[in-house]
Chain A
Amino acid sequence: MKLAAHYNKASIIISVTVLFISGLIYYFVINRIAREQLDSNLSEEIGEVVDYVNQNQRLPKSVDFDEDLTTFAKTNLAKFDTKYFDTPYQNPREKKVEAGRAVSTLIKCKGENFIVTIVVSREDTEYLIQIIFIITLSLTTVLLTVLIITNRYILNGLWRPFYYILNQVKSFNVSDNKKMDIIEAKADEFRELGEAVSTMSSRVTSDYHGLKTFTENASHEIMTPLAVITSKLDTLIQDETLGPDQFAQITDIYSATNKLSRLNQSLLLLVKIDNNLLHETEKLNVKTIIREKIQQFNELIQNKNIELDYMLDDVDIIANRYLTDVLINNLFSNAIRHNKLHGQIKITLAGNKLLFQNSGDPSPLREATIFTRFHKGRSSDGTGLGLAIMKNICNQRNFDLKYEYLNDLHSFEITF
């Protein structure tokens, strides 16, 4: 839920509650005031009746008190407390029953006791309360509507810079040279946030470029001495005065140098994948690539007398050409290198899955560690980076790479 919605919800709940409670209080207070007003009118009238009886020593006629119904009832009670109460009011003119308020008291006339009751209509008071209630209700409605509209439009407007910054942060790619725009926000907080994010992004970008340059320079520095070693060895083997012992040692130096340069190249490739430097993608047909690779690896497969079975459907993926090439190369390399003489390789490409299965060491590899860098099998002569590179390539494109040991076959499955 968005912040604005949270805020809206809270403010509406609070407003409605406060308005409801204040409405109730308002109602009771007004009701009470109105009643007190009625009661004081009634007590004035009863005073007039008592005055009249005391002066004239007779009961007044009811018409003398307009609109009010005055009744006299003879009673034997010697003592009666004046009381106020609600009672129906018989409107003489409109012939209908309305809510009314009455007062009763005891008067003496010519030695007889009477209870006099005066009833007045409460219609006017009720009407007043209704009007007040309606006005309050409409005010409440208007207030809530205004509140919701205000929240929606003004708050959305206020938050717009925030979403703008958020979108920029989301689309931020450290390898792009694009700088973040600073936006004109009315609110200080957002302006500061925008500035901070922009400063941070340019610092990250410059750090990143520094690192990239460093990596490139480091590789340059390592590759050049390697080139010197290789070229010196190439020159050295031309020397006809050397004997078999020297040549045996040179062979070892060759393979160590070769391994070192492969290692360096693999590390650089990993850095490139990690930094998403190879992010150009295109539509690739996996079947075509695998067919090409089968051609390429054909001699190596034959060299080990490996039986190759494949079943390939047309599958298109969107990926980087170079990385896909490396990925499939590594799948083949692994399947051949860790295979045994007269072993087998099965390749299945169907739906969105590519499955490489090969025979080899008859015990499963440890799934938890095979994709970590520099983890090597017992008899592996590789750099220990091949599977890590595969994993990183798959991660970059959100492909799923899984290892399983099934029916004596090591299986690598990629789900595109």
Chain B
Amino acid sequence: MKLLIVEDEPGLRESIEKYFTEEGSICETSNTLESALQKIAIYEYDCIILDIGLPDGEGFAILDYLKLHNKQDCVLIISARNSLDDKIKGLNIGADDYITKPFHLAELKARLLAIFRRKAFGSTNVLNYKEISIDLLGRNVSIDEKNIVLTRKEYEMLLYFIANKGKVISKNAIAEHLWGDEMDMLDSFDFIYTHIKNLRKKLSDISGKDYFASVYGVGYKFV
């Protein structure tokens, strides 16, 4: 996957680049609107991660450019402004998704892959990871053609882990992905443990493999 990261904050830009590059994707970065516009004029990208507040203008200009030149790049907006107007404006002029700062890299990746899959393969696609096969349209999970019945949360969690395979995902990130705003109330992460335990068992009952590795209480890794 070829990726363009348009972000003026160096710390954030580098983290995103590092997180996505290790996986094998090609990442390019831009810290200004002007250089980003130059890049999208010359190269084709699968996905663009776009910060709205750039030092030389608003990221919306990139969306306008893409629309004008009929380019199909996926665009995921990241913004510090949790303002509904910006969200609606961004999605109206061609962005595929919108994420508000601060976010977890795992969340960013899961969202990006979701929009990429949607655009690249249309609506009928099957996601394969090792022997796990997920029918994204029918929300069906099977291992070696044997169906596994998962709850909605377990299904979401599995997709999330596969998107971030090989990465340590913090409990905070998992909780935020599954519960979003209600996160506010979670005093302990015990319930995440319960969910992971259930999912782990359902998967290993059929495949005989343990896909989850716990990392010193900070989070989990899907391998």
Contacts and interface: CB of A to CB of B under 8 A. Distances in A.
Interface of A: 216, 219-221, 223-224, 226-235, 237-238, 242-244, 247-248, 250-251, 254-255, 257-258, 261-262, 265, 268, 296-297, 299-300, 303, 322, 326, 329, 332-334, 336-337, 381-383, 386
Interface string B103-117: 111100000000000
B15 interface: yes
8 contacts: A230-B104, A230-B105, A231-B104, A234-B170, A235-B15, A247-B218, A322-B84, A336-B185
Nearest to B109: A234
DSSP majority for the A interface? helix
Nearest to A297: B182
B81 interface: yes
Contacts of A322: 84
B218 A250 contact: yes
Contacts of A296: 182
Nearest to B218: A247
B140 interface: no
Interface in B88-134: 100-106
B82 A337 contact: no
Contacts of B183: 258, 262
Contact of B172 (A227, A238, A258): A258
A270 B140 CA distance: 42
A381 B183 CA distance: 12
A234 B12 contact: no
Given A220-B53, A234-B170, A237-B218, A227 B12 contact: yes
B38 interface: no
Interface in B15-39: 15-16, 18-19
Contacts of A336: 185
B105 A261 contact: no
A303 B11 contact: no
Interface residues of B, number: 46
B187 interface: yes
B45 to A, nearest CB: 21
A358 to B, nearest CB: 13
B194 interface: yes
Contact of B101 (A226, A233, A237): A226
A261 B184 CA distance: 10
B185 A333 contact: yes
A262 B183 CA distance: 9
B143 interface: no
Interface string B156-186: 0000000000011011110010010111111
Nearest to A251: B218
A322 B82 CA distance: 13
B46 interface: no
A303 B184 contact: no
Contacts of A300: 179, 182, 185-186, 191
A231 B170 contact: no
Contacts of A237: 168, 170, 215, 218-219
Contacts of B171: 251, 254
B43 interface: no
